[in-house]
Structure 1
Amino acid sequence: MENLETQTNNFITDEGEHEMAREEDFAELVESSFHKVQEGEVVTGIVVQVTSDYVMVDVGSKSEGQIPLEQFLDEKGELTVKVGDEVQVFLEDTEESSGQVKISKSKADKIRIWEEIAAVCETERTIVGRVVARVKGGLQVDIGVPAFLPGSQVDLRPVRNFEKYIGESFEFNVLKYNRKRGNIVLSRKPLLEKQKEERKNLILGTMEGSGLFVGTVKNITDYGAFIDLGGIDGLLHITDMSWGRINHPSDVLKVGDQIQVKVLKFDQDKERVSLGMKQIQPDPWENVEERYPKESEWTGKVVSITDYGVFVELEKGVEGLVHISEMTWTKKPRHPSKLVQVGDEVDVMVLNVDKEQKRISLGMKQLKPNPWDVIAERYPEGTKIEGKIRNVTDFGVFVGIDEGIDGLVHISDISWTQRIKHPGELYKKGQTVQAVVLNIDKENERFSLGIKQMQEDPWETIPDRYPPGAKVRGKVTSVTDFGVFLEIEEGIEGMIHVSELSKERVNSPSDFTKEGEELTAMVLKVNKKDKKIALSIKSLEKTGDYEQVKGYMHSQEVVASNLGDLLKENLGSNFGKE
């Protein structure tokens, strides 16, 4: 432009002399100073007009060209230029007579892109592109012209799901290109490896300081979450998410969350990073003994229920266990869920604190009076009570007293005389019974009752009513290998040993008699302590009542050579039956 001004000044030095030729010569000089545009070149033009279909561009030398409007629209369909903007266009053809030129923006863009590709390849710079499609062997990338990204160059690790990259924009290295064939091969691997190495060095450097990072939740599992630290992933285990209880990582995090984490451990060889969230906050167990002294009372929330008790949250990160035995003084629930549910607020007392093991023992029953403290005074031994049966078991029945306390009537204390195989034979749940207090064990919380003690023990008078030598008659209740049991009154049995069944040898009691038959026997001995009565049929022979036996046998028209044969052949082992 300085040359232009100098030449112009020369033309107007003598104003009078050149007045006539000024305009003509000046226009010629200006025109000659502009670069003559040539076909096949990329030139800079100025947008002079925008219509609904075309954009008019002035490329100089009084030449204008029109370019279809769509070449100036972005992905959203919005116009990217306005009148006065400079644009790069490709000059395809000129018509000097009309001053019209044929130009193209898209071809200029391609030429510029290929030049950029060459520069990137030579200088190892990067180029930005967007993945547009899945193709055989990899992905197609739009960098202004189609390019190919091999599957092996997509990521540092083998990729199974290529579709997740479609629509994403990345930086790429150009591995090679062929402009004539229009082939371009891209890669992300070198860039990712560089980023990974830089991130590793950053992690190592940060660990020497605070170790804090901001990462993105990449994936969530049952045991934790994987956090993208920017080129390298770290595992945030569920136990390191919070000082409090977490049932599942998804209760705290979701994919895409930006969170602050602390690097706990970094294994360079295996490239594993262990992260923590709770470590950023103070450990609530640090001074727990001072905050929760023994016998202090608190209100907490039930956060978990197990077979052996419930966990109560006292504050975020601090929980205590109420064992099932510490929940109530009297009720013995089969499961803690019979008393409380998750989310319930409960009042508890601190029983013990173990800071090292991070355990607090809590109690619920301690906040209420212990009924066992007064139960012994209210029900001394020998007291007769009446109550409903709350439960029937193999070993006895539980009778409700009061204050939630149940008394046990053991199966051995149900009857003086009856042989009971199961309490259910006599009693049912809900049935009202009377019993006597036998014993109260406050330490072990046991209340013993007896039903048979409501009546006098018949064995107290048995020795007087059945002295040795007395003749008794009864029904056979059981036949065993060693003898026969004979019920001589309700609930009172005597036993005839096999050796006492007959004067003659008896091989098996079942050959002698059977259940339900009636027999007559003599009392041999009564053992009051063991509640046993020994009986004998054989001993009846020694009473001298042989004539009665003879008359009985003659009435049956039994003929025998003598009394011994008569007894042997006809009575045999049945001597004593009537």
Structure 2
Amino acid sequence: MDRRRGNIVVSRRAVLEETRAEQRSGLIMNLKEGQIIDGVVKNITDYGAFVDLGGIDGLLHVTDMSYKRVNHPSEVIAIGDTVRVQIIRINQDTQRISLGMKQLESDPWDGVAAKYPVGAKLRGTVTNITEYGAFVELEAGIEGLVHVSEMSWTKKNVHPGKIVSTSQEVDVMVLEVDSDKRRISLGLKQAQQNPWEAFAEKHPVGSTVEGEVKNATEFGLFIGLDGDVDGMVHMSDIAWGISGEDALALHRKGEQVSAVVLDVDVEKERISLGMKQLEKGAPAAGGVASSGSLRRGEVVTVTVLEVRDGGLEVQAGEDGATGFIKRSDLGRDRDEQRPDRFQVGQKLDAMVTGFDRSKKPNFSVKARQMAEEKEAVEQYGSSDAGASLGDILGAALKARS
């Protein structure tokens, strides 16, 4: 009111707002949490929809529309639709009303642990893909997460989107169920056969395989094999008669090669291969497996297959396992440790001292000599306290003859 000028400002809007506030308060007083009521959809947003309850609006959030995944409210309702909703919450201070539709449906998570036991194989649909995995819908309202680490046996550190796609149907295995947190952990790779097990069944030790050189490292070659797995050829198993470094230089990435299976470790996901075993005149590939008949500490007769600067490549028996005698194991004395004093085809006795990662035996002439001397001392040393080592060994040899 401006008395000096005789002006009065009035507002119809203020009266209407006051009237609406009184009506809203009166309507809210007649509503209760948990009440089921019909309403009309007035507006739709990305996060939900506003529903007219007869003079007062309530918010139906997208997460309360359905137990199944809803990407946008327009997938479920449209403006002008009459919907039945339940009043979830009423804020008397702000006069805001929260509504829900899924609360009127049966909860699919009831009894989910019994319905989806651990170890069960199921078929579902990929609904969403993230950097850490993919969500798979098992039924309406029930989704499980396939973590990126459980997606593939062979594809490590790969984005899930390169393994599966949205709407794709996939076979999965239930790994864990947490009903309280409404979480199901699924495995994609567990629903498929372990490729290392499949390879071992199809290609037993001693069989020949072909593949492409995927990578060359300082210690060997990685070969791509059936089932999207890789096998490794150690540098010492590439070729006869040359050093491992020179053998590595003979092959390039992308080259097709043949190799023999030396060992398959399913648990460690490793396949050991050998290429030199396929060379003409090399020991039979099947001889690799015969190392299982050798025992640590056993003395056997071996045949020299190759003379190297670092020692001798030898073979036990006629068709037995191939192994190596290091230069330092050729004898106790320095003069005996010269590989060039041996010739290919020469036979000698050596002791099995162990096995390398490919289960190939390691032999030692030195260990055999020391074991024989110890045995001789134990048998003959006590009979003559003044006897020399030569006397003791002579007595041992005489007794054996």
TM-score when scaled to structure 2?
A: 0.57
Question: Which of 82, 85, 107 is 1:258 aligned to?
Answer: 82
Corresponding residue number in structure 2 for 1:341: 165
For 1:249 and 1:395, locate their aligned partners in 2 and report how far apart those are by CA, in whole Å.
58
What amino acid maps onto 1:418 in structure 2?
E
Q: State the Cα distance separating 1:219 from its structure 2 match.
A: 3.6
Counterpart check, 1:356 vs 2:180: yes
Corresponding residue number in structure 2 for 1:372: 196
| Structure 1 residues 263-302: aligned runs within 5 Å | 263-302=87-126
| Aligned residues: CA RMSD | 4.0
State the aligned residue count. 279
What amino acid maps onto 2:86 in structure 1?
K
In structure 2, relative to structure 1, the CA distance for the partners of 1:337 and 1:189 (3 Å cut) is closer
For 2:98 and 2:237, locate their aligned partners in 1 and report how far apart those are by CA, in whole Å.
65
Question: Which of 17, 22, 26 is 1:194 aligned to?
Answer: 22
| Structure 1 residues 327-338: aligned runs within 5 Å | 327-330=151-154, 332=156, 334-338=158-162
Q: State the Cα distance separating 1:439 from its structure 2 match.
A: 4.4
Partner of 2:122: helix, strand, or coil? Answer: strand
In structure 2, relative to structure 1, the CA distance for the partners of 1:424 and 1:268 (3 Å cut) is farther
Corresponding residue number in structure 1 for 2:311: 460
Q: State the Cα distance separating 1:364 from its structure 2 match.
A: 3.9
Corresponding residue number in structure 2 for 1:183: none
Corresponding residue number in structure 1 for 2:356: none
Q: For the Cα contact (< 8 Å) 2:135–2:146, is it kept in 1?
A: yes
Query: Which structure 2 segments of 5+ residues have no match?
Result: 1-8, 280-305, 313-325, 329-333, 336-401
In structure 2, relative to structure 1, the CA distance for the partners of 1:230 and 1:401 (3 Å cut) is same
In structure 2, relative to structure 1, the CA distance for the partners of 1:215 and 1:358 (3 Å cut) is same
- 1:535-555 CA distances to partner (integer Å, 9 max, x unpaired)? xxxxxxxxxxxxxxxxxxxxx
Q: State the Cα distance separating 1:241 from its structure 2 match.
A: 1.7
Q: State the Cα distance separating 1:395 from its structure 2 match.
A: 9.0
Corresponding residue number in structure 2 for 1:432: 256
Q: For the Cα contact (< 8 Å) 2:235–2:244, is it kept in 1?
A: no
Q: State the Cα distance separating 1:197 from its structure 2 match.
A: 1.2
In structure 2, relative to structure 1, the CA distance for the partners of 1:295 and 1:312 (3 Å cut) is same
| Structure 1 residues 412-491: aligned runs within 5 Å | 416-418=243-245, 427-429=252-254, 431-435=255-259, 437=261, 439-449=263-273, 459-460=310-311
Q: State the Cα distance separating 1:225 from its structure 2 match.
A: 2.9
For 1:290 and 1:396, locate their aligned partners in 2 and report how far apart those are by CA, in whole Å.
50
In structure 2, relative to structure 1, the CA distance for the partners of 1:349 and 1:425 (3 Å cut) is same
Corresponding residue number in structure 2 for 1:43: none
| Structure 1 residues 293-312: aligned runs within 5 Å | 293-312=117-136
For 1:315 and 1:346, locate their aligned partners in 2 and report how far apart those are by CA, in whole Å.
13
What amino acid maps onto 2:38 in structure 1?
V
Corresponding residue number in structure 2 for 1:7: none
What amino acid maps onto 1:189 in structure 2?
E
**Larger relative contact order, structure 1 or 2 (CA cutoff 8 Å, min sep 6):** 2
Q: For the Cα contact (< 8 Å) 2:62–2:72, is it kept in 1?
A: yes
For 1:291 and 1:259, locate their aligned partners in 2 and report how far apart those are by CA, in whole Å.
31
| Structure 1 residues 27-176: aligned runs within 5 Å | 153-154=12-13
Query: Which structure 1 segments of 5+ residues have no match?
Result: 1-148, 157-186, 469-578
Q: For the Cα contact (< 8 Å) 1:298–1:347, is it kept in 2?
A: yes
In structure 2, relative to structure 1, the CA distance for the partners of 1:189 and 1:315 (3 Å cut) is same
Q: For the Cα contact (< 8 Å) 1:297–1:350, is it kept in 2?
A: yes
For 1:224 and 1:268, locate their aligned partners in 2 and report how far apart those are by CA, in whole Å.
21
Q: State the Cα distance separating 1:315 from its structure 2 match.
A: 1.2
Corresponding residue number in structure 2 for 1:165: none
For 2:161 and 2:256, locate their aligned partners in 1 and report how far apart those are by CA, in whole Å.
29
In structure 2, relative to structure 1, the CA distance for the partners of 1:349 and 1:417 (3 Å cut) is closer
What amino acid maps onto 1:191 in structure 2?
T
* Identity level (%): 48
Q: State the Cα distance separating 1:328 from its structure 2 match.
A: 4.5
Q: State the Cα distance separating 1:201 from its structure 2 match.
A: 0.4
Partner of 1:253: helix, strand, or coil? Answer: coil
- 1:252-276 CA distances to partner (integer Å, 9 max, x unpaired)? 2334433222221212112222222
- 1:355-407 CA distances to partner (integer Å, 9 max, x unpaired)? 11212233344444434335446556676643113467899754222233222
For 1:394 and 1:335, locate their aligned partners in 2 and report how far apart those are by CA, in whole Å.
29
Question: Which of 51, 57, 72 is 1:227 aligned to?
Answer: 51
Partner of 1:188: helix, strand, or coil? Answer: helix
Partner of 1:198: helix, strand, or coil? Answer: helix
Q: For the Cα contact (< 8 Å) 1:392–1:424, is it kept in 2?
A: no
For 1:230 and 1:395, locate their aligned partners in 2 and report how far apart those are by CA, in whole Å.
79
In structure 2, relative to structure 1, the CA distance for the partners of 1:227 and 1:381 (3 Å cut) is same
In structure 2, relative to structure 1, the CA distance for the partners of 1:235 and 1:413 (3 Å cut) is farther
For 1:425 and 1:226, locate their aligned partners in 2 and report how far apart those are by CA, in whole Å.
73
TM-score when scaled to structure 1?
A: 0.41
In structure 2, relative to structure 1, the CA distance for the partners of 1:458 and 1:309 (3 Å cut) is farther
Corresponding residue number in structure 2 for 1:516: none
Q: State the Cα distance separating 1:432 from its structure 2 match.
A: 1.0
Q: For the Cα contact (< 8 Å) 1:333–1:339, is it kept in 2?
A: no
